Amino acid sequence: MPGNVTAETLLEEAQDALDEGDAERALDLAIEGSRLAGRADDEELTARLALAEGQALLALGDSRVALERIAVAVRAFPDDLDVRTEEASALHELSRFEEAADLLTRILHEDPGDAGCHWLLGLCLERLGRAEGSERHLRRARELAPGDFPEPVVLSPDAFEAVVEEALAELPEPVRRYLANVAVTVEDLPEVEELLLSDPPHSPSILGIFRGSPLGDKASMDPWSHFPSSIALFQRNLERYARDREELLDEIRVTLLHEVGHFLGLDEDQLRDLGLD
CATH architecture of 157-273: 2-Layer Sandwich (3.30)
Closest Cα to residue 232, out of 191, 266, 178?
191
Nearest C-alpha neighbor of 237 from the set 204, 268, 263: 204
Distance in angstroms (rounded) separating the CA atoms of residues 119 and 149:
8
Q: What is the reported pLDDT for 24?
A: 97
The pLDDT score that the predictor gives to residue 276 is: 42
Is 184 within 8 Å of 164 (Cβ atoms)?
Answer: yes
State the DSSP code for 211: E
Predicted structure pTM score: 0.88
d(CA 131, CA 125): 7
271 confidence band (pLDDT: 50, 70, 90): very low
pLDDT in tens, 164-205: 999 888 888 887 888 888 899 999 999 999 999 988 999 999
| CATH of range 95-151; options 1.25.40.10, 2.40.50.180, 3.20.20.70, 2.60.40.10 | 1.25.40.10
pLDDT class of 118 with cuts at 50, 70, 90:
very high
